[in-house]
Amino acid sequence: MADKIATREAYGNALAEFGAKYDIVVLDADLSEATKTCVFKKQFPDRFFDCGIAEGNMMAVAAGIAATGKIPFASSFAMFAAGRAFEQIRNSIGYPHLNVKIGATHAGISVGEDGATHQCNEDIALMRTIPGMTVISPADGTEARAAVEAAILHDGPVYLRFGRYAVPYLYDESTYKFELGRGIKLAEGSDVTIVATGLMVHLALEAKELLKAEGISAEVINIHTIKPLDTELLAASASKTGAVVTAEEHNVIGGLGGAVCEALAGICPVPVLRVGVEDTFGRSGKVPALLELYGLTAANIAAKAKAAVSMKRK
């Protein structure tokens, strides 16, 4: 097994794998080579339907398919799924709570060279405000695969957020267990809690090491399900450490950071600092350069963690 894989790649593989086990239908909007639904298409051509470059229609077609009892996966880039087709998702899928799975790839800044029009840093915010919508953002290939099966087994609309850029494997498929709505504590710590999602999870683990060298003990939590949020785990950790840093490849407004602040403000108010795209648009560039440019780094997580620790009530 390679030591790295893009979660979109794991998504395509998972669709093909689970296509043999479950009666799923896969839709795409002329991006199957990029979203990797082409892997499913190759194996199950009679259950794959290209909708052309018409994402709004695709989402409502998916709603119609779900209304007849099948489980459709509607795939496109996050920008055109959550962004372009927001209202179709809200009114035709969310409101009637139909069993549609939205496979949104190329989320966040790590789209890279295509630049701002294709870098969706708003999708978590958009999707989690839809009542009844489950929002999942896997951290690695293993988690992405498991999330696809969990989405199939969950009755209701699910938004799955995948990345274009290869990320290291964090989990072993033979031991990994995905529980919808349950965060995963990756490391115990006592001074600060780092809550991360998606591509930022492995950087959070790096940040923990940086902090350790400075004598700060960080707890690391992977939140793969942003909605419903594991508030129990978050509150328990926050009350123990007294300070929180969130990390996501998304606008600092409305995403994981927003969700964590909303949750903790009511049940365990502690300082929360957010690492993410600072309310700005992206730009073209190589992914490592962009992650550096927008502060999506282990060093920035560690710096924010130190700042959060210093804000704790003495």
Partner 1 sequence: MEQAKLALLTEKAREIRLGAVKAVYSAASGHPGGSLSIADILSYLYFSEMNVDPKDPKKADRDRLVLSKGHTAPALYAALAARGYFEKELLSTFRQADSILQGHPDMKHIPGVDMTTGSLGLGFSAANGMALSAKISGDSYRVYAILGDGETEEGQIWEAAMFGAHYKLDNLMAFVDFNGLQIDGKITEVMNPTPLDEKFAAFGWNVLTIDAHDFDQIEAACRAARECKGKPTAVIAKSIKGRGVSFMENEVGWHGKAPNKEQYEKAVAELSV
129 burial level (CB within 10 Å; 0-12, 13-18, 19+): middle
Question: Rule CB under 8 A: is residue 131 a binding residue for partner 1?
Answer: no
Residue 220, beta-bridge partner list: 187, 194
Pairing of strands 167-168, 4-5: antiparallel
Question: Rule CB under 8 A: is residue 49 a binding residue for partner 1?
Answer: yes
Task: Please give the backbone phi and psi of residue 293, each rounded to the nearest 5 degrees, phi first.
Answer: -60, -35
Q: Which position among 64, 131, 266, 288 is part of the footprint of partner 1 (CB under 8 A)? A: 64
Q: Which position among 34, 56, 115, 116 is part of the footprint of partner 1 (CB under 8 A)? A: 56
At closest approach, how far in Å is the CB of 122 from partner 1? 21
Q: Which position among 34, 54, 187, 253 is part of the footprint of partner 1 (CB under 8 A)? A: 54
Q: With CB under 8 A as the rule, give the number of residues binding partner 1.
A: 30
Identify residue 275 by its one-letter amino acid code.
Answer: V
Evaluated on CA atoms 8, 24, 44, 82, the torsion sign reads: negative
Place of tokens 């850029």: 165
Residue 140, beta-bridge partner list: none
Nearer to partner 1, 92 or 119 (CB): 92
Q: Which position among 88, 105, 137, 251 is part of the footprint of partner 1 (CB under 8 A)? A: 88
Nearest-CA neighbor of 216 among 238, 247, 243?
Answer: 243
> By rule CB under 8 A, what string of x and - marks binding of each residue 199-238 to partner 1?
----------------------------------------
Determine contact, residues 144/166, Cβ cutoff 8 Å. Answer: no
Nearer to partner 1, 100 or 203 (CB): 100
Could you confirm whether 55 is annotated as catalytic? yes
Q: Which position among 33, 87, 173, 179 is part of the footprint of partner 1 (CB under 8 A)? A: 87
Q: Say how many residues make up the chain.
A: 314
Nearer to partner 1, 58 or 199 (CB): 58
At closest approach, how far in Å is the CB of 87 from partner 1? 6
* Residue of 9, 55, 248, 249 marked catalytic: 55
Nearest-CA neighbor of 121 among 275, 7, 12?
Answer: 275
Q: Which position among 17, 34, 83, 96 is part of the footprint of partner 1 (CB under 8 A)? A: 96
Determine contact, residues 99/71, Cβ cutoff 8 Å. Answer: yes
Question: Rule CB under 8 A: is residue 41 a binding residue for partner 1?
Answer: no
Alpha-carbon distance 199 to 207, whole Å?
13
Query: Which residue stretch of 86-94, 143-151, 186-194, 250-258 sits at the interface with partner 1 (rule: CB under 8 A)?
Result: 86-94
Place of tokens 């407004």: 253
Evaluated on CA atoms 32, 168, 80, 63, the torsion sign reads: positive
> By rule CB under 8 A, what string of x and - marks binding of each residue 153-182 to partner 1?
------------------------------
Alpha-carbon distance 291 to 164, whole Å?
13
Question: Rule CB under 8 A: is residue 24 a binding residue for partner 1?
Answer: no
Tokens at 123, concatenated: 């999708």
Q: Which residues 6+ apart lie within 8 Å of 215 measured at CB?
A: none
Alpha-carbon distance 182 to 283, whole Å?
34
Query: Which residue stretch of 11-19, 56-64, 115-123, 251-259 sits at the interface with partner 1 (rule: CB under 8 A)?
Result: 56-64
At closest approach, how far in Å is the CB of 124 from partner 1? 23
At closest approach, how far in Å is the CB of 56 from partner 1? 5
Footprint on this chain of partner 1 (rule: CB under 8 A): 25, 46-47, 49, 51-52, 54, 56-70, 72, 87-88, 91-92, 95-97
The residues carrying an active-site annotation are 55
